Amino acid sequence: MSTYAYRQAAGIRQALLDHRELALIDVREEADFATAHPLFAVNLPLSKLELEVRRRIPRFTTPLTVYDNGEGLAEIAVERLRSWGYQDVALLAEGLAGWRRSGGELFQDVNSASKAFGELVESVRHTPSLSAQEVQALIDSRQEVVIVDARRFDEYQTMSIPGSISVPGGELALRVESLTPSPQTPVIVNCAGRTRSIIGTQSLINAGVPNPVHALRNGTIGWTLAGQTLAHQQQRQYDPSARASGARAAEVAHLAERAGVAVIDEATLQRWLQQSDRTTFLFDVRSPEEYAAGHYPGSLSAPGGQLVQETDHFASVRGARIVLLDDDGIRAAITGSWLAQMGWETARLSALSTSQLSERGVPAAEVPPGPQAEEISPTQLAQQLEEPGTVVLDFTTSANFVARHIPGAWWLTRSQLRQALEAIPPAQRYVVTCGSSLLARYAVPEVAALTGKPVQLLTGGTLAWIAAGLPLAHGDSGLAVERRDRYRRPYEGTDNSAEAMQAYLEWEYGLVDQLARDGTHGFRVL
């Protein structure tokens, strides 16, 4: 019988106020996490804990507090975390209900801390913005105007403001000069909702860009609610060779210094990385393409705009130290200026030469050792499926499953394994897969224990099945459990209801008041 340590909600709030390191981990699926969670909780679903935990919580002695909402997932997570070497793992007393009962504020959605910070920035700095109608009038006037989309390129491709160009937020201060014909050209910054528009606009203002800069108020949501038409599948991107002036670099360096971002050398970095009592995250804030072409050994790719937008996803230990690097002196400084204002101890690595960016590609995730499993090749599985008795279980994301899967396969998550197996017809044997079979391997003993039947692992996963040219099925038939693995964001995609979009905006407007009630955020705005 396991014994568990418990932490009280009040103690965690005090640790946050004291800037002590901690990770408050919600192990529910993302859609459940998005309904209610503490401000600095990070979502690490039990179903894929193995794949993410070492990247997001790299130090084994970090105090971890795990919770759910009574589903029984947290206890399993504690056992696993201990078995992988984490030494200080406790349950949140009474789980989410305990946090609520203690008077702790609960937030909705995802990346809530970053979004709340964005709203605080706007409220303090009065970040200028224009409505969708005003931006449309500007476009219609035939006046020269530059509209930059601060989201990831794939989000821009899904839907965008007509005539806009993709410049993810961390790139704006570096690239905008090359896009504006004159210092008088108006610049409009948009995202899908509010946060990246606000932070992007304020970044350019803080960087001393002379142009008149405005956020598109409420982003593509505001544009849609105004009854205006969005463009789709646009391909316009900034020139990757474009650079800002020396004057801009000096302005941004001064901004970072004012925010409290330290400048350190390699020797200091190495000393920090070796500290056993402190977590240091090392992030490369350039584009993913630049990172893959050559990066500093041991650094992780975290494009600057997304790092500010999704800080909880990249740096899941509140109170940790964050070191940023680039090769231009602007992107790390501007990103760092925001992280420092968000209460992180932040530094940037002094000028790096190309020769120091010696590691290529994207390093494989560090994961706990997987269990032994009997494997089956795609062609063997195809033959086996010609006879009755074999059931394929697919542990990929539900979006991947709907896009393509092995005909007859069932989709499920490990956290809902028991419920899923009750819904799936019984089998003589099971074959488990996911995209690569990396995650599926961990499910082998779990499926075997619950069914008492032989379980095989598909070698190379569904990607190997596809590579073998074997047939695929598409669509949502075969979902054994409800799709809770991803929260449906009201600002993503093109088929959201006006009510959902309006409700999302109302939620964002209320975040500043929520921050005040929470009282643990440690944010300041320059």
Where along the chain do its domains lie? 6-110, 116-244, 252-356, 374-467
For 431, other C-beta atoms within 10 Å of its C-beta total: 26
Q: With 90 as the cut, is the pLDDT of residue 116 above it?
A: yes
Q: Which CATH superfamily is domain 6-110 in?
A: Rhodanese-like domain (3.40.250.10)
Structure token pair of residue 413: 């998550």
Amino acid in the structure at residue 206? N
Measured CA to CA, the distance from residue 68 to residue 222 in angstroms comes to: 35
Predicted local confidence at residue 382, as pLDDT: 98
Q: With 70 as the cut, is the pLDDT of residue 470 above it?
A: yes
- Strands 146-149 vs 187-190: parallel, antiparallel or unpaired: parallel
Q: What is the pLDDT of residues 313-332, one digit of tens each?
A: 999 999 999 999 999 999 99
Amino acid in the structure at residue 457? L
Amino acid in the structure at residue 248? R
Which strands make up the sheet holding 321-325, listed edge to edge?
262-264, 345-349, 321-325, 280-284, 300-301
Q: Which CATH superfamily is domain 116-244 in?
A: Rhodanese-like domain (3.40.250.10)
Q: With 70 as the cut, is the pLDDT of residue 362 above it?
A: yes
Predicted local confidence at residue 237, as pLDDT: 97
Measured CA to CA, the distance from residue 127 to residue 122 in angstroms comes to: 5
Predicted local confidence at residue 497, as pLDDT: 86
Q: What is the dihedral of CA 258, 275, 287, 350, to 10 degrees?
A: 50
Measured CA to CA, the distance from residue 464 to residue 445 in angstroms comes to: 22
Measured CA to CA, the distance from residue 48 to residue 45 in angstroms comes to: 6
Go through the chain and tell me how many residues it has: 526
Closest CA to 94 of 173, 10, 185, 169: 10
| Max CA separation in the chain (angstroms) | 73
Structure token pair of residue 19: 């800037």
Q: Which CATH superfamily is domain 252-356 in?
A: Rhodanese-like domain (3.40.250.10)
> Between vectors from CA 260 to CA 258 and to CA 264, what angle results, nearest 5°?
115
Measured CA to CA, the distance from residue 452 to residue 142 in angstroms comes to: 70
Structure token pair of residue 423: 């819904």
> Between vectors from CA 337 to CA 148 and to CA 188, what angle results, nearest 5°?
15
Residue with tokens 């009038």: 137
Structure token pair of residue 497: 């209801």
| Percent of the chain's residues with pLDDT above 70 | 99
| Percent of the chain's residues with pLDDT above 90 | 94
CATH 2.40.160.40 at 374-467, yes or no: no
Predicted local confidence at residue 1, as pLDDT: 58
Helix 498-509 / helix 511-518 crossing angle, nearest 10 deg: 40
Measured CA to CA, the distance from residue 146 to residue 181 in angstroms comes to: 9
Which strands make up the sheet holding 146-149, listed edge to edge?
129-130, 213-216, 187-190, 146-149, 165-166
Closest CA to 330 of 182, 208, 196, 189: 208
CA torsion sign for 182, 184, 186, 187 is positive
Q: What is the pLDDT of residues 39-93, one digit of tens each?
A: 999 999 999 999 999 999 999 999 999 999 999 999 999 999 999 999 999 999 9
Q: What is the pLDDT of residues 476-512, one digit of tens each?
A: 999 999 999 999 888 776 677 888 889 888 989 999 9
Q: Is the CB of residue 26 less than 8 Å from the CB of residue 69?
A: no
